[in-house]
Amino acid sequence: MSAAAAVPSDNILELENVQTFYGSIEALKGISIEVKHGEVVTLIGANGAGKSTTLRSINGLNHPRRGRIRFQGRDITHASPHDIVERGIAQSPEGRRLFPRMTVLENLIMGTFQRKDRNNKKAVNEDLDRVYSLFPRLSERKQQKAGTLSGGEQQMVAIGRALMAHPKLLLLDEPSMGLAPIFVDRIFEIIREINSQGTPILLVEQNALMALDVASRGYVLETGRVALADDAKKLKENEDVKKTYLGVAD
């Protein structure tokens, strides 16, 4: 894991000993993570462990002070956020971050901002239809201002907006947050569906049980460090993980 991978690998994303700071606070104390082509990887950990910071390091909003991030073999450690989006990383961020004064439709269209074929009405409409079929609720709310949607509906728009970008890698930060249990199940179905169409996903989740179900591998973060890294199945059987994150006591 620590060996420098200079040759083209089957990793689409690699973080190598990444250290990220907020001012003088060291939020990530050197973490290494990989995402392979086509897989779902999950990051779990307690509040404040550094999950969101990891995603913000990847998407360029908080550049790491030390360490390296490679996407498709290219160094993106210090690339600007818009450049990183252009290279194919899209995300549904923590707190959803919709454009509140734009309609649902306008928000979804914003997702296509950097696409080369953004002016191709047909391609964009096909993608819209795909989002509406994943979230039928949104097709009823097309013209509603995003700021007036319920929390769950906003979450759907945030995911839909990320899909509209045609990402090569999708980052999801707590997509099930604030959703009713049936919608949580639905979100995880959708994650599977998106992934089955070939998009690799890095998934941050509080709902560790479901996250480990959908992921092939997982990382457990503890105060800015990777405490455990393993196959999702093995993590689910791990006693520490069971106790701390799955709420199983036996």
Partner 1 sequence: MATEASRQPVSWFRGFYAAGVVPWVGRGLVVLLFVWLGVNLSKTPGDFGILLVEGVTLGLVYGLVALGYSLVYGILELINFAHGDVFMLGSWMSLYIGVQKLGLDASSSGFKVVWGLALTLVCAMAFCGLLNASIERVAYRPLRNAPRLAPLITAIGMSFILQDVGLKQLGSAPVSLPNILPTGTVFTIGGNKYGWDHLIVGLSALPVLALLVWLVQRTRQGRGMRATAQDQEAAAMMGINVNGTIWFTFMIAGALAGVAGLLYALYSTNIAYDQGFTLGLIAFTSAVLGGIGNLPGAVLGAILIGLIQQFNEGLSWHAPGSDWTQSIVFAILILILVFRPEGLLGERTPEGG
Ligand X SMILES: Nc1ncnc2c1ncn2[C@@H]1O[C@H](COP(=O)(O)OP(=O)(O)OP(=O)(O)O)[C@@H](O)[C@H]1O
Cα distance between residue 199 and residue 223, in whole Å = 29
Tell me: does residue 114 bind partner 1 (CB under 8 A): yes
Q: Give the shortest CB-22-to-ligand X separation in angstroms.
A: 3
Residues in 145-164 that interact with partner 1 by CB under 8 A? 161
Does residue number 102 form part of the binding site for partner 1 (CB under 8 A)?
Answer: yes
Contact segment (CB under 8 A) with partner 1 among 89-97, 175-183, 212-220, 233-241 equals: 89-97
**One residue of 26, 86, 94, 230 binding Mg ion per CB under 5 A:** 94
- Cα–Cα distance for residue pair 67/180, rounded to 1 Å: 39
Closest approach of ligand X to the CB of residue 53, in Å? 3
Which amino acid makes up residue 25?
I
Q: Which residues, 6 or more positions from 181, have their beta carbon under 8 angstroms from its beta carbon?
A: none
* Residue recorded with tokens 């307690």: 46
9 makes contact with partner 1 (CB under 8 A)? no
The answer to whether 77 contacts Mg ion (rule: CB under 5 A) is: no
CB of 94 to partner 1, least distance (A): 11
What is the closest distance, in whole angstroms, from the C-beta atom of residue 48 to partner 1 in the complex? 20
Rank residues 53 and 199 by Cβ distance to ligand X and give the closer one.
53
From partner 1, ligand X, Mg ion, none, interface partner of 141 (C-beta below 5 to 8 A by class): none
- With helix as H, strand as E and coil as C, how does 34-68 read? EEECCCEEEEEECCCCCHHHHHHHHCCCCCCCEEE
Residues contacting residue 141 through CB under 8 Å, at least 6 positions apart? 104, 149, 153
